Structure formats: structure tokens, C-alpha cells
Amino acid sequence: EKIGKMKIELKKIECPKERSNKYSKRKKGILKKAEELALLCDVDIVMVLISPANKPTIFHTPSRNLSQILKDFSNISIQERNERFDLSDCHITITLSTLHNFIVFFSIYIKTNI
């Protein structure tokens, strides 16, 4: 008899309603874990989640301003980013203006959708 959770096969959920429900539950869980990690380890975390309905959610540690976190990230040299992060699947270069535009877009999106 095994104690604990059974391992499930990970595959795309085909039913849109089931996928949306699973996303909502998993999103709550991952945001809670991110909040715990930030608090326990005193780290900054920024996450962008796009729902199955293409609605973005952004999470950042509340202890610091999102603009400052993104600015700090953008100030890392390209060489250091390549050494520290696996960006092999990333086809964009993050610049400060790109981050600024993202923040402005997200601020407008949040204000118009509340």
C-alpha cells in the first residue's frame, strides 16, 4: 500500500470547461507557493500567467514595486542573462522600454477590467 499522492500522467485537458477549472485551482496553488517562497527566502518573484481564455494574471512580491523589480532584471547584462537563465526557447530580448510598455499595458488592463 502506497501512502501519499499518486502520480498522474500530465497531458493537455481537452475539455475547455475542465481545463479552465483546473487552471483556476492550479493558479491559486502556484500563487500561494510563490508568495510563501518570497516570504521565506526574501526573494522577488514576478510571474505572468495567461489563462486558457487569454486573460493575463500578473503576480509580483508585494514587498517591492513591480517597476523596480523589472528594471533590476533588465539591468542584468546579456552575457550574465545567458549564463544564469536558460533563454534558448526565448525569442525576444527584454529591454527596459519593453518592460515599461508591458507595465503600462498591464496597468491599463487592470484599471479597465476591475
In whole angstroms, give the CA distance from residue 67 to residue 94.
14
**Tens digit of each residue's pLDDT (9 = 90 or more) over 75-96:** 878 788 777 766 565 555 555 5
pTM of the model: 0.62
**Tens digit of each residue's pLDDT (9 = 90 or more) over 7-56:** 778 888 899 999 999 999 999 999 999 999 999 999 888 888 888 888 88
Question: In CATH, what is the architecture of 16-112?
Answer: 3-Layer(aba) Sandwich (3.40)
Q: Count other Cβ atoms within 10 Å, centred on residue 69.
A: 17
Instruction: Compute the CA torsion angle 35, 37, 38, 44 (nearest 10 deg).
Output: -110
Domain definitions of the chain by residue range: 16-112
